[in-house]
Amino acid sequence: MLIPNSFQDRWHGIIRNKIKKVRPEHDKDKPDVKRELAKKAALLAKRKAGQSDAPAAKKPKIDSWGFINFNPPQPEGEDPESIAEHKRWLKVR
């Protein structure tokens, strides 16, 4: 979907998505809706069959903004003792 350039484009996208989600409930007898529902059912069955055979692979952790990355990792070679020594050195100055 393209980035909406105006308020009208945004509303058009919202209404289109609403209709897309509601239509299968109302028009279950129409051929194109039946075809889409059959595709979704086949895809779900395929996913379930794949999940039961092999365990799902763990997704790698993605760095994100926020508290997780607030404190940077300690540089190599730093340990709590050297950090405490540096703090004492800062207090003396």
For residues 2 and 66, the model is more confident at: 66
DSSP characters over 33-78: HHHHHHHHHHHHHHHHHHHHHSPPPPPPPPP-SSGGGTSPPPPTT-
pLDDT at 90 over 70: yes
Give me the pLDDT at residue 32, please: 83
pLDDT at 3 over 60: no
User: pLDDT tens-digit profile of 11-66?
Assistant: 888 888 888 888 777 788 888 888 888 998 999 998 888 765 555 667 666 666 66
Calpha distance 85→77 (Å, rounded): 14
